[in-house]
Structure 1
Amino acid sequence: NDHAARLVKHGYEKHKNQPFRLLKMDMDLIVIPLRYALELRAVTSDKLDPLTASFDDNAGKVTRILLGSELHTRAIQQRLTPKLPQILPVLLDELNHAFGQVLPAGNDGSNAWVSVNPYELVLNLATRAAARLFVGDPICRNENFLETTASFSRNTFDTISTSRSFGNFFTYYFARWISTAKEAHGQLQYIQNLLGSEVQRRKLNSEEKHDDFLQWCTELAVTEDEARPEALAHRTLGILSMAVVHTTAMASTHIFFDMISDNSLKESLRKEQQDVLKHGWTEITQQTMLDMKQLDSLMRESQRVNPVGEFTFRRIV
């Protein structure tokens, strides 16, 4: 794992215009030139399967990543994306609450400078904001739920790292002795009990109106397996913890460091925000986000230089 990026770069330089095989402990990887990407993206999932690829790549038999349904994709495309203008004020409200919970005060209760861990700070904020969108109030402010959501991704990624170092066979048969796998399984069971009970409660109280990811998946579930409360809870945790909170925290932390490393950029961004957000960040809208072109440029460039992973297009033939 420590040499993965170097090996990928070496393979790309040696076989720049042709596919090459990268040997791994868990499974081999075929790396294709970028020029084939658009063509292959158009191939249907029955020929190039993204779900099974994600399952295998993330040690699915041990981490118990859900396989065989794109319910979460339907929820995002059909409910989340069309509702972004209505969702933004909800996220801002939760962030406003979260800042008061997360940002430390000085030892004397004043506004003095204090040291923070940037990643942990952003992770905490991202977890709280995303939880409001995914499970709604009051669960989104349940401290045990928030801590479980944040730490579940760490335990899962550490388990995946073990699998990539020792192979799927070893990881699967010795999972009961791998501390991160055991802890992640316990966390999953806790979330399934908590959110599974919430799904059942909502069904019994149909007059209540909920507008969150858990509810969208409940309403859009087609098969009996998709509609199981435990499966809905599992899916919600998986997407919230693995796909939203972790990646948001990583990207935001990189952007933060890129910004503070350049004084001229920092001042330029500050001026842009003062011009666009005359009444403060709590009044952000979709339009003002589009108007902050320098911030948008920084975010794009930072994510280009600091991607979440070396590869994003994973498929199994």
Structure 2
Amino acid sequence: MKDLDISETVFPTAEEDAGAAKRVPDTPQTRSPSYRLAYADKDFLLREELRPVRLQLELLKPELLQQEHGIEATIVIFGSTRIPEADKAAEDLRQAEEKLGQQPEDPELILAVRIARSIVTKVRYYDEARKLANLITRQSEDAGLGKMVVITGGGPGIMEAANRGAWDAGGESIGLNIVLPREQCPNRYITPELNFQFHYFAVRKMHFLMRAKALIAFPGGFGTLDELFETLTLIQTRKVKTVPVLLFGKEYWQKVINFEALVSEGTIDPADVRLFRYVETAEQAWAAITGFYQPTS
């Protein structure tokens, strides 16, 4: 005799009803958009009035999938999309210099060469992001911190390096992509089942922090600054628990942001500059994270 599964619901599933809804006679009434099941009606879901529903769906989908994969702790790695690995940076510089050689007085080409040379000086950050993600993936459980999963914005540059480091170690990593006016393809090192796409920046940033045990910001532009300052603001105002915030490359960060000026102007408290610290190597960053969660007695 077959055992009774009392966990089964008496109601049909949404999938079963969606299938049944397709097996109806073709009449003017059944062809009307009003007859479609609401959850299966894309045109209805994309209406302006349904924005709150779409926000909720965008919050729930990555949350439920991460739960299903047993992901409880993440380490966030931010940084510029424009810092590639060394070979790519060297080739970009070569091409820029070649174009400048053909039109040596062109101000745009002069600037392009200057920028390409600057990027070449930053390729070490690609290597360090890759190394750090590898360390996190391989050593977090052995260090007694449990499974920590690297999470990035899913794009190229520093984000690619971090996902790549986890991939090198044979581990999972997460990518939180965002739909942009210009096409952006997720980097190929993200775990496919943990590669998400967002419409809303706000929901995406929330997912960065929901499981975050540390945040590492490599040199970057507007996006990196936005994510860094939002995190610092949330920690400062105690909207989230304190986690290690590590700025990779002291020279870069002190050049682009004068934190001490904010203190001297009275717009932040002197203690606020202790919400973060500078690091220069993957080993320093990993030591800062493990030291935060396992302080020496």
Tell me which interval the TM-score lies in, with the shorter structure as reference length: under 0.3
Larger relative contact order (CA 8 Å, sep ≥ 6) = 1
- Which has the larger share of helix? 1
- The structure whose Rg is larger is 2
